[in-house]
Structure 1
């Protein structure tokens, strides 16, 4: 018995009414002529299964995606400081790049300004270079002559003495209107103490002239014959003169800077006067502290100069013969041999020259002296006493 088309349509209609049930039926077609019924299954069932599978797997995927989101958020939270540091580094580089660009653009104008400043102060700059060159030449020459001892050139020492004296006199004669020599004896030169550059000019010139003065005294000691003053005694005199020079140079700038600091200038009021006095007193306090510190060193130098401690005792002939009568330093016969506490023998002049720079024995490195007399070689300090 073959089902009719109406019956098939009723079955399909009843299937459509149930919206909640899955649609498993296919589309049917009825051919009245042949009586054949063809039923084509649609992909609804497969789609329903796929949808159900996807819905079933969705909670797991949501949980996985949720966990992944949390993990990503935590990782992003941990990586937050890195971008901040990178941003700071980038901002610093950008600021540096901007500064370099500004310097590159401003370089021609800066060069013009520098040339203008040099032209305004060409006299002071030229004189400063000349004074520095004179100091370097004279200091090196004096040290070389002291090192030569018996072979030192009297003519060279005389030339240095005349050269330093002539340079100082020529400088003061050229600027005689400013009375710069007054600063040597703590008097006021005839310059404007309100100008900072004028103050630097006075202090700088006076400091170099004092160096030249004491270097000239060292040249005079070099000219003294060795039978009147031994080389060892000359070394103590060089040391004392250098310490005196440094100590005196500390006092010379005080009146100049004090007048500059207390000058109130445009602040012609009680506030300006009070501020100037306070600055001047603060400067004096700082100078007093530096004086006390320098005074300890100066007292030690005075003690060494007057006591003249010996680093050893005169060596006997037997002790000299143990060293083959040859000084290990000069490789010549002993002259006034001295035996150190380490039982090594040297010439008195040789070992004295050695202890100008070292504290230990040249052979065994045993500590012999507790101090280094660095100025006994005739050198002059390069330090420029500005304040």
Structure 2
């Protein structure tokens, strides 16, 4: 019987590429800022409004923006240099972070300011994410792709822990203005690292196009997905997970304060537990190489992640919430790694940007759920929202396992 041996040298195979190392540095710094924003903005909005519903509808502004602009983001990714898109979107985020820091410092920050910030975030994400997700396969070959994607998520887990904890302590010591100032400085460094990436990459067409041709290319991407049951199912799974992630991250500040009785530092530690789980799983994923069990890992992680969310809602005695958040982070990370790897492996190279933008377009439907969930949380509490979302996630992934067995066998 052949026994598989894992080599730790293989766990860093993608880092042998010079350009990928610069990309990783940018991702490490960016992840810290993202988690600082998650903790800082959630705490700030809940502090200003004292309303779980407000958390939902402010987040909905970002989701609706993504819904409207993500098709253009995918088309841009397939037509223009991904490096250029990544640099300019980070410049916008840098300016946005400094602007919020000034508003807080002069004590003029209002909820409507945060709505505008979330709308800007939605536009940035719609253009940035397809470029960020697909540039990896421009930097490394297919055999190294899973390792590169896993290392990408290692950076997210590692610096996510730092970002979440830093945000909690900054809120307690310097206020939320300190969080946004730190974000602006880190985004500036991210932009510098991205400028080190090479120009070029796979671009489907460089000729000027009209608006009608832009939407024609989007329709072409939709047809590509529609005629591939594998891509369609993978996108459905990713969208379901996106709803799941937005649900618990959006309402975590309310859950931490009102159900777990935690301070801003406690919220930071709870968020860091998610990233610690993600980091642990990412390290494991780097050892998988070109695993032949991607479909099984994907489906199994989704089912167990839903179960953990249900348990989180109903077992609130410490340290259970921290342990469960760690597990949710680990399982969620496995879902993201497998989703990104399988989508890039099973779609046409010239369609990658559009395929990923379709995924983000559908995730833009989340505002409908977030507003409804915010109403549920306002009347019956966040634990009910977590329970409902966990049940839905488990049901959908079990249905896919039963009725689309081909996903189970993906490799």
Which TM bucket (shorter chain)?
under 0.3
TM-score in terms of structure 1 length: 0.25
TM-score in terms of structure 2 length: 0.24
Of structures 1 and 2, the one scoring higher in RCO (CA 8 A, sep 6+) is 2
Higher helix share: 2
Higher strand share: 1
Rg (Cα) greater in structure: 1
